[in-house]
Chain A
Amino acid sequence: MPAFGNPLGLLALLGIPAVLAIHFLQRKAKELPVSTLFLLEHTRREAVGGRRIERLVPSIPLWMQLLAVLILTWFLSEPRYPREGSVQRIAVVVDSSASMAVFKQAAADKVLQAVPLLKGSASEVSLTVLESVPERPRLHAGTSTEGLAEALEAWQPRDGPVDPTQALRLARSLVSPEGSVVYVTDTPSATPLPFDAVEIAVGEAIDNVGFTGVSFTREEGALIWKAMVRNHGKSMAERTWSVISREGASEARVLRMEPGSITTLQAAFPEGATQLRVVLSADRFTLDDVLPLVAPRPKPLVVFNASPASIQDLSGRLIRALESAQPGNDAASADLSITAYNPLDPSPPSGNCVVFVEDETRTGAWLKGGIIAEAHPLMDGLNWQSLLVRETIPLEQKPGDLVLLRQEQRPLILLREAGQAKQLLFNFDPALSNLEKQPAFIVLLHRFAERIRSAKIAPVSANLETGQALTIAAAPGLPLSLRATDIEGRELPAPKGGVRRAISSPGFMSVNQGDTRLLDAAVHFGDPREADFRLCAASDMTPGGGAGAIERHTKKDPLWRAWILALIACLLVSWRFIRGGRKEPQPVTT
């Protein structure tokens, strides 16, 4: 089947109705008085008229002109024949955002429909399917559309919103400038895609109600879970919800929600239960219709408070504010110590600790100069400009100390990592400063305490979001094992990425190191951006290989000169018969 280098040439087929119309008008019935009508009765089968469709008389000029139109159409549309061994490379980048789960089948159908169009006249096709997250492995690479269909069938989009630019760049580099890059998404982009990518949008603005997050509180000793539910749609929604635990399911309750509204569902976590599910009646986007929960149990943090008397009250409040913080009796057994450093009686701090200088001289002048914070996660976003500090005897600074805050050249806060121990050193006496009134101070202490907690090897129960990054403190040398189940308790295959991230689908997971349980987690979908389908739509951009692809994969019609000669011959024959038919008018009067 030849391809057409100039499909617009097919418009020349309009010449066929034009020729027929001209012949029809030319063949308008001539009025003729005839006295031999009774003889025409013998030819009634062919001659009786009245049906307009039979009024056109086939003639050699007519056939010649129709043939000329067909030849002209053939010539103008520039037929091209497939070139042996030509390959069209096609890279399909699929939007891996979770909302595509709803339109996965439609996306697969569209892609399979688009492949023949993209293949065009090429004799072979090379297919590569990538996710819009560029670091993911290819979903498919091969030549068969069956493999492509299977890859798309097995594909599970679970990510958040992803900028496809990098994936498109990678796709373009894979297929070279002559190949085709297709981006399949559910939300049409407002601007043209880069790298000459063709967009196929298969979305639809569906209504969706789902969980957007969960929090826990303790009220009267009971653990209360609070789940937020949002109606992402544009119309009133009615759903039912129930809680399913090991003991069974609660009675379904009706939930009516205005468009865009958020409702909080809450209940006490059943005594003795370790996990449960809150389930909404299903809609098309099912990922956020279930909220698996475990009773959260953070790692306990044992804090030994040996802070100077000047901040004893403050540090006591800090410790109480820390989640799951327990007071310790000595620095050796504590996870974190808050201690003082007396320059007159210097002793190096040990273990994880927060150290304050305790200067009993109290005679220093106010430090002057600009306060500069180091770019460090502990200091991120903290404002220290209102900090006022008097000069004190400084700590002994070691080479590996990282200055987190300094005033002019004088270090104020340092971070010291001595082996496994992490020490936050305040190089001034808090009693000779307004540190107690600095919000940044409170936040810094909390951040540091959480660092200590996260590095502690201890079991933890947590409620995570799908794909959330995990930081699991584990003993070195022993591998971690992950076990995951879906909502219904069916075993899930272990993620290829190991235990770096939570599972990508709602469910439960646990991480062990040997026989030691390090993590029990419930994983829920918690990305409200993907649950909102109001901007989803379909677009009908038809992909095609373009004229360049046709030229690459096909060769010119070798008979084009013959077609021109045939066209001229048809016109000459038609002209000859028309001329021959125009005889002198005879007395046609019968």
Chain B
Amino acid sequence: MTGPEDMQAARNAAVAAAARLRLPLRSRSWRGQAGEFAGSGTGSSLDFQDHRAYAPGDDPRHINWQAYARTGSYTMKLFREEVRPVVDLVMDASESMFFDPAKAKRSLELFHFIRESCAASGASLSTHCIRGDAARMLDPAEVHSHRWLDAVRNQSASDPAAAPNVAKAPVRANSIRVFISDLLFPGDPEPMLRHLGQKHGSVILLCPWLESEARPDWSGNHEFIDPERNTRHAHRIEPATLRRYLDAYANHFALWKNAAQRHQAAFARVPAAEDLAGALFREAVPSGALESC
């Protein structure tokens, strides 16, 4: 599920979904480069904001000459600033995201959805792929050529099964940080969310998941293959064992959900079994990770 055709299919699905959904860019005020979104400061847009007395150094082009004619004092006319939103996309490129065709498809769809959504809203997008402690910033041309995933998966990490080191992905101030990951790695979510939320950023967690992970029908002897390390592990699964696994699975994502709430991050688990738009409408919109157009 990583061939060019698959990539294009995932992108097509993402484009369709992006026509109906978008990132919640309008729900906050922005600073930065000029763009289409109202900034938090004064700018040169056509939207009138306020009047104030002239101060030396002000742009004389914004002096309200009609008011000067009436009052004899210089009065400055202030307009709203228009800026471009900034989005930092952090993609978990660990092998667990791509070893299963359905999950790989959903991961790629989410990846392209964010990109398409940003493109539609004129946001400044920065894309990082992280595989363990290896990180790579994607060039837009590389993404368009659909060769980025192979390059990312060929990165060598000291421990491919380790949690993605998001610190290797530099985030920009005041940006929206979208982290696409299945979150299937051990460890405390706090440091990761703290890093993603630094510099006044907003965090959105999009988590593709499989039904077979959430409710597996394991029974008996299994030789589990760790896709990240490519190692084999003999396990005997009894009903009690399976119950404990399900508890651990539920606890793991409850931990992430609680941590996301503490960091005011939008957290959406996107099932791989449904179509992208439907899954996003059902999971991402209620959680505030996305909004409808």
Answer yes or no: are A and B bound together in one complex.
yes
A residues adjacent to B (C-beta < 8 A): 27-40, 42-43, 46-50, 54-55, 57-59, 583, 586-590
* Residue pair A32, B225 in contact (C-beta under 8 Å): yes
Closest to B227 in A: A33
Known A-B contacts A39-B249, A587-B102, A588-B218; the reply to A49 vs B234 at CB < 8 A is: yes
Question: Is A46 touching B240 in the complex (CB atoms < 8 A)?
Answer: yes
Known A-B contacts A54-B236, A57-B238; A40 and B224 likewise in contact (beta carbons under 8 Å): yes
Name A583's contact: one of B186, B217, B237 (CB within 8 Å). B217
The verdict on B223 contacting chain A, using a C-beta distance below 8 Å, is yes
Nearest-CB distance from A21 to chain B (Å)?
Answer: 15
Would B100 and A29 count as touching, CB distance under 8 A?
no
How far does the alpha carbon of A37 sit from the alpha carbon of B161 in the complex, in Å? 10
Cβ-defined contact, B241 with A588, below 8 A: no
Query: For A586, what are the chain B residues with a Cβ–Cβ distance below 8 Å?
Result: 211-212, 217
B168 part of interface (Cβ distance < 8 Å)? no
Separation of A39 and B185 alpha carbons in the complex (Å): 9
Given A33-B99, A46-B241; A587-B212 close (CB under 8 Å): yes
Choose one: B212, B216, B235; the contact of A47 (CB below 8 Å): B235
A-B pair count, CB < 8 Å, reads 121
| Highest count of chain B CB atoms <10 Å: which of A30, A39, A590 | A590
Contact B248 A42 (CB under 8 A): yes
State whether the Cβ of B81 lies closer than 8 Å to any Cβ in chain A: no
Is the Cβ of A35 less than 8 Å from the Cβ of B99? yes
What residues of A have a CB within 8 angstroms of the CB of B227 in the complex? 33-35
| Residues A30 and B212 in contact in the complex (CB < 8 Å), given A48-B235, A590-B100 | no
A59 vs B252: C-alpha distance in the bound complex, in angstroms? 29
Residues of A within 8 A of B240 (CB): 46
Partner of A33, one of B224, B236, B245, B247: B224
> Given A35-B96, A38-B186, does the pair A589, B210 have CB atoms closer than 8 Å?
yes
Q: Once the chains are docked, how many angstroms separate the CA of A587 from the CA of B100? A: 9
A82 to B236 Cα, complex, angstroms: 47
Which residues does chain A contribute within 8 Å of B226, judged by CB atoms? Answer: 33-35, 37
Contact B184 A36 (CB under 8 A): yes
Asked whether B219 lies within 8 Å of A57 as measured between CB atoms, the reply is yes
The 9 A-B residue pairs whose C-beta atoms are closest, nearest first, are: A49-B234, A35-B96, A29-B221, A590-B213, A589-B100, A57-B220, A34-B224, A39-B248, A29-B223
Interface string of B201-218 (1 = CB under 8 A from A): 000000000111100111
The answer to whether B100 and A34 touch across the interface, beta carbons within 8 angstroms, is no
Can you spell out 24 A-B residue pairs with CB atoms less than 8 angstroms apart? A27-B221, A30-B223, A32-B224, A33-B224, A34-B224, A34-B226, A34-B227, A35-B184, A35-B228, A36-B184, A38-B186, A39-B245, A40-B233, A46-B241, A47-B241, A49-B221, A57-B220, A57-B221, A57-B236, A58-B238, A586-B212, A589-B212, A590-B100, A590-B212
How far does the Cβ of B38 sit from chain A's closest Cβ, in whole Å?
42
Q: Are A38 and B224 in contact (CB under 8 A)?
A: no
Contacts of B244 in A (CB 8 A): 42-43, 46
Task: List A contacts of B210 (CB < 8 A).
Answer: 587, 589-590
Tell me whether A50 and B224 are in contact (CB under 8 A).
Answer: no
* A116-B210 Cα distance, complex, nearest whole Å: 68
B182 at the interface (CB under 8 A from A): yes
**Shortest CB–CB separation between residue B62 and chain A, in angstroms?**
58
Contact indicator A31/B212 (Cβ below 8 Å) = no
Q: Does B282 touch A at the CB level, under 8 Å?
A: no
Check: B26 CB closer than 8 A to any chain A CB: no
Tell me the minimal C-beta distance from B209 to chain A in angstroms: 9
Assembly CA distance A49 to B241 (angstroms): 12
If the complex has contacts A35-B227, A46-B238, A55-B236, are A30 and B221 also in contact, measured as CB distance less than 8 A?
Answer: yes
A29–B186 CB distance below 8 A: no
Contacts of B241 in A (CB 8 A): 43, 46-47
A residues in contact with B233, CB < 8 Å: 37, 40, 49
Question: Which of B103, B220, B232 has most A Cβ within 10 Å?
Answer: B220
A36 is contacted by which of B211, B232, B249 (Cβ under 8 Å)?
B249
Is B200 an interface residue when CB atoms closer than 8 A count as contact? Answer: no
B20 within 8 A of A: no
Alpha-carbon gap, A37 to B99, bound state (A) = 14
- Whether a CB of chain A sits under 8 angstroms from the CB of B147 is no
State A38–B161 Cα separation when bound (angstroms).
Answer: 10
Q: Please indicate the chain A residues that have their CB under 8 angstroms from the CB of B218 in the complex.
A: 32, 588
| Distance from B162 Cβ to chain A, minimum over Cβ atoms (Å) | 11
Q: Could you tell me the distance between the alpha carbons of A454 and B161 in the complex, rounded to whole angstroms?
A: 118
Q: Is B222 an interface residue (CB 8 A)?
A: yes
Residue in B182, B222, B236, B245 whose beta carbon sits within 8 Å of that of A32 in the complex: B222
Complex interface: chain B residues within 8 A of A29 (CB) = 220-223, 234
Interface centre among A54, A586, A587 (most CB of B within 10 A): A587
Using CB atoms, name the residue of chain B closest to A31: B223
How far is A36 from B102 in the complex, measured between Cα atoms in Å?
16
User: Cα distance A35–B95 when bound, in Å?
Assistant: 9
B222 touches A590 (CB 8 A): no
Contacts A40-B235, A49-B221 aside, 13 further interface pairs with beta carbons under 8 A come to: A29-B220, A31-B222, A32-B224, A34-B226, A35-B99, A36-B249, A42-B245, A48-B235, A49-B234, A57-B221, A587-B211, A589-B210, A590-B100
- List chain B residues, Cβ under 8 A from A49: 221, 233-236
Q: How far is the CB of B29 from chain A (nearest CB, A)?
A: 39
Closest to B223 in A: A29
Contacts of A37 on B, CB cut-off 8 Å? Answer: 224, 226, 233
The residues of A that contact B248 with a CB separation of less than 8 Å are 39-40, 42-43
A59 to B232, alpha carbons, bound, how many Å?
Answer: 25
Report how far A39 CA is from B182 CA in the complex, Å: 14
Q: Give bound CA distance, A39 to B250, whole Å.
A: 10
Per the bound structure, the CA–CA distance linking A392 and B252 in Å amounts to 143
Q: If the complex has contacts A29-B222, A43-B244, A590-B212, are A35 and B235 also in contact, measured as CB distance less than 8 A? A: no
- Report the Cα distance A40→B225, complex, angstroms: 12
Residue of A nearest to B182 (CB): A35
A31 contact set on B, CB distance < 8 A: 222-223, 225, 232
A35 touches B221 (CB 8 A): no
The reply to whether A588 and B245 contact each other, CB–CB distance below 8 Å, is no
Instruction: Look across to chain B and name the residue whose beta carbon is closest to the beta carbon of A58.
Output: B238
Least CB distance, A29 to chain B, in whole angstroms: 4
Hey, which chain B residues are within 8 Å of A588, CB to CB?
212, 216-218
Which residues of A have CB within 8 Å of B96?
Answer: 35
B226, closest chain A residue (CB) = A37
Identify the closest chain B residue to A57 (Cβ). B220
Are B223 and A32 interface neighbours, CB within 8 A?
Answer: yes
Interface string of B111-131 (1 = CB under 8 A from A): 000000000000000000000
Contact between chains at A34 and B236 (CB < 8 Å): no
Contact indicator A46/B236 (Cβ below 8 Å): yes
A58 to B241, CA, bound (A): 13
Instruction: Check if B217 sits within 8 Å of A47, measured CB to CB.
Output: no
**A27 close to B220 (CB less than 8 A):** yes
CB distance from A76 to the nearest CB of B (A): 31
Q: Is the CB of A47 within 8 A of B236?
A: yes
A48: B residues at CB distance < 8 A: 234-236
Chain B residues whose CB sits within 8 angstroms of the CB of A43 once the complex forms: 241, 244-245, 248
